[in-house]
Amino acid sequence: MEFFRNFPFFSIMIAMFCGIVSSAVSGKSARRISLAMVTGVLVLSACTLVYVGDMGESVTYLMGHFPAPWGNEIRFGTLEAFLALYFSIIMLLSVLGGWSHVITDVEAGKENLFYVLIDMMMSSLLAMIYTNDLFTGYVFVEINTIAACGMIMIRQNGHGIVAAIRYMVMSLIGSGLFLIGLSLLYDITGHLLMVPAHEAIETVVAEGTYRVPLLVIISLMSVGMAIKSGLYPFHSWIPETYGYATPTASAVLSSLVSKGYIILLIKIFYRVIGMDVIVSSHILNALFIFGIVAMVMGSLHAIMQTDCRKMIAYSSVAQIGYIYMGIGLGTKAGMVAAIFHILTHAATKSLLFISAVGLYEVSDGRTDYNGLRNAAYRNRIAGIAFSVGALSMVGFPMLSGFISKYLFATAALERPHKMLLTLLALIISTVLNAVYFLRQVVTIYSGRPGESSSTSNFIKEAISESTFSNRFASIALILLNLFLGLFSEVVIELISRGLEIFA
Amino acid sequence: MSRIRDNYENSRAAKFEAWLRGDYDPMSEGMEISVPKTDGSDDEIDPRAGLVISDALYDRHTNKALKRSGYVYRVLSVVLCLVMISVLLWMVQFLPKFGQPDNPANNEVSARYIEKGVEETGAVNFVTGMILDYRAFDTFGESCVLFIATICVQILLRIDKDDMTPATFRRRKESETDRLLEPKNDIILQRVSVVLVPFLFIFGIYIILNGHLSPGGGFSGGAVIGAGLILYLCSFGYKQTERFFTIRTFRIVSLVALITYCLAKSYSFYTGANHLESHIPLGTPGNILSSGLILVLNICVGSVVACTMYAFYTLFRKGDF
Predicted pLDDT of residue B49: 44
pLDDT at B45 over 80: no
Of B103, B113, B273, the CB nearest to A62: B273
A351 Cβ neighbours under 8 A, 6+ residues apart: A385, A386, A388, A389, A392, A474, A477, A478, A480, A481
Within 8 A of A305 by CB-CB distance, chain B residues are 27
Residue type (1 letter), A159: H
Contact at 8 Å (CB) between A159 and A240? yes
- For chain B, what is the largest distance between any 2 Cα atoms, rounded to a whole number of angstroms? 104
Cα–Cα distance, A373 to B227 (Å, whole number) = 58
The residue among B159 and A310 whose pLDDT is bigger is A310
- List C-alpha distances in Å: A195 to A270, A460, B111: 10, 59, 19
pLDDT at B1 over 50: no
Look up the ipTM and state it. 0.89
Handedness of CA B287, B289, B292, B295 (dihedral sign): positive
DSSP string, A451-474: --SS-HHHHHHHHHHS-HHHHHHH
Cα–Cα distance, A363 to A381 (Å, whole number) = 15
Report the DSSP beta bridge partners of residue A72.
Answer: A63
Question: Tens digit of pLDDT per residue, chain A (503 long)?
Answer: 788 889 999 999 999 999 999 988 888 899 999 999 999 999 999 999 999 887 878 888 888 888 878 888 899 989 999 999 999 999 999 998 888 888 888 887 888 899 999 999 999 999 999 999 999 999 999 999 999 999 988 887 777 888 888 899 999 999 999 999 999 999 988 889 998 999 999 998 898 888 889 999 999 999 999 999 988 888 888 888 888 888 889 899 988 998 999 999 999 999 999 888 888 888 899 999 999 999 999 999 998 888 888 888 899 999 999 999 999 998 899 999 999 999 999 999 999 988 888 887 777 767 777 777 777 787 788 889 999 999 999 988 889 999 999 999 999 998 888 889 999 999 999 999 999 898 888 888 886 555 555 545 555 555 555 567 888 888 999 999 999 999 989 999 999 988 888 87
Contact at 8 Å (CB) between A344 and A392? yes
Cα–Cα distance, A416 to B70 (Å, whole number) = 41
A72 Cβ neighbours under 8 A, 6+ residues apart: A62, A63, A64, A133, A136, B134, B135, B136, B137, B138
Cα–Cα distance, A308 to A355 (Å, whole number) = 12
- Of A337, A368, A376, which is closest to residue A474 (Cα–Cα)? A376
CA B306 to chain centre: 13
Q: For residue A14, give the chain B residue with the closest CA.
A: B262
CA B237 to chain centre: 25
State the DSSP H helix or E strand holding residue A116, giving kind and residue range, or none if neither: helix A111-130
Contact criterion met (CB < 8 Å) for B273 and A9: yes
Of A20, A63, A69, the CB nearest to B147: A20
- Counting other chains too, the contacts that A61-64 makes at CB distance below 8 Å and 24 or more residues apart are A61/A5, A61/A6, A61/A8, A61/A9, A61/B273, A62/B269, A62/B272, A62/B273, A63/A9, A63/B136, A63/B137, A63/B269, A63/B272, A63/B273, A64/B133, A64/B134, A64/B135, A64/B136, A64/B137, A64/B268, A64/B269, A64/B272, A64/B273
Contact criterion met (CB < 8 Å) for A158 and B271: no
Contact criterion met (CB < 8 Å) for A70 and B48: no
Burial of A417 (0-12, 13-18, 19+ CB in 10 A): exposed
Angle between helices A258-267 and A308-328 (to 10 degrees): 10
Of B144, B160, B274, the CB nearest to A109: B160
Cα–Cα distance, A21 to A39 (Å, whole number) = 17
Best mutation site among A2, A65, A186 for testing chain B: the one with the most B CBs within 10 Å?
A65
Within 8 A of A180 by CB-CB distance, chain B residues are 88
B242 Cβ neighbours under 8 A, 6+ residues apart: B321
H helices of A190-234, where? 194-207, 211-229
Within 8 A of A61 by CB-CB distance, chain B residues are 273
Within 8 A of A152 by CB-CB distance, chain B residues are none
Predicted pLDDT of residue A318: 92
The DSSP 8-state label assigned to residue A58 in this structure reads P
Cα–Cα distance, B250 to A426 (Å, whole number) = 55
Predicted pLDDT of residue A18: 93
Phi-psi region of A109 (alpha: psi -120 to 50; beta: other; left: phi over 0): left
Predicted pLDDT of residue B44: 43
Cα–Cα distance, A40 to A30 (Å, whole number) = 15
Contact at 8 Å (CB) between A481 and A253? no
pLDDT at B23 over 70: no
pLDDT at B2 over 50: no
Q: For residue B29, give the chain A residue with the closest CA.
A: A306
A386 Cβ neighbours under 8 A, 6+ residues apart: A351, A352, A355, A356, A358, A359, A376, A440, A441, A444
Within 8 A of B113 by CB-CB distance, chain A residues are 70
- Of B254, B230, B265, B264, which is closest to residue B304 (Cα–Cα)? B254
H helices of A23-62, where? 27-52
Within 8 A of B111 by CB-CB distance, chain A residues are none
- Collapse the DSSP code of B63 into the 3-class scheme (helix H, G, I; strand E, B; otherwise coil) and give the result: coil
Contact at 8 Å (CB) between A225 and A179? no
Within 8 A of A186 by CB-CB distance, chain B residues are 105
Contact criterion met (CB < 8 Å) for B145 and A143: yes
- Of A114, A143, A193, A110, which is closest to residue A16 (Cα–Cα)? A143
3-state secondary structure B116-181: CHHHHHCCCCHHHHHHHHHCHHHHHHHHHHHHHHHHHHHHHHCCCCCCCCHHHHHHHHHHHCCCCC
How many other C-beta atoms are found inside a 10 Å radius of the C-beta of residue B292?
21
Contact criterion met (CB < 8 Å) for A157 and B26: no
- Counting other chains too, the contacts that B97-103 makes at CB distance below 8 Å and 24 or more residues apart are B103/A187, B103/A190
Predicted pLDDT of residue B42: 42
Predicted pLDDT of residue B51: 45
Predicted pLDDT of residue B320: 67
Q: For residue A192, give the chain B residue with the closest CA.
A: B109
Within 8 A of A24 by CB-CB distance, chain B residues are 251, 255
Structure confidence at residue B179 as a pLDDT band (50, 70, 90): low
Of A9, A19, A147, the CB nearest to B269: A9
Contact criterion met (CB < 8 Å) for B145 and A146: yes
Cα–Cα distance, B160 to A426 (Å, whole number) = 51
Beta strands in A31-162 (DSSP E): 59-63, 72-76
DSSP string, A320-387: HHHHHHHHHT-SHHHHHHHHHHHHHHHHHHHHHHHHHHHHHHTTTT--BTTTTTTHHHHSHHHHHHHH
pLDDT at B199 over 90: yes
Angle between helices A111-130 and A258-267 (to 10 degrees): 20
Cα–Cα distance, B131 to B291 (Å, whole number) = 13
The CA distance from B135 to the nearest CA of chain A, in Å, is 5
Percent of chain B's residues with pLDDT above 70 = 75
Contact criterion met (CB < 8 Å) for B27 and A304: yes
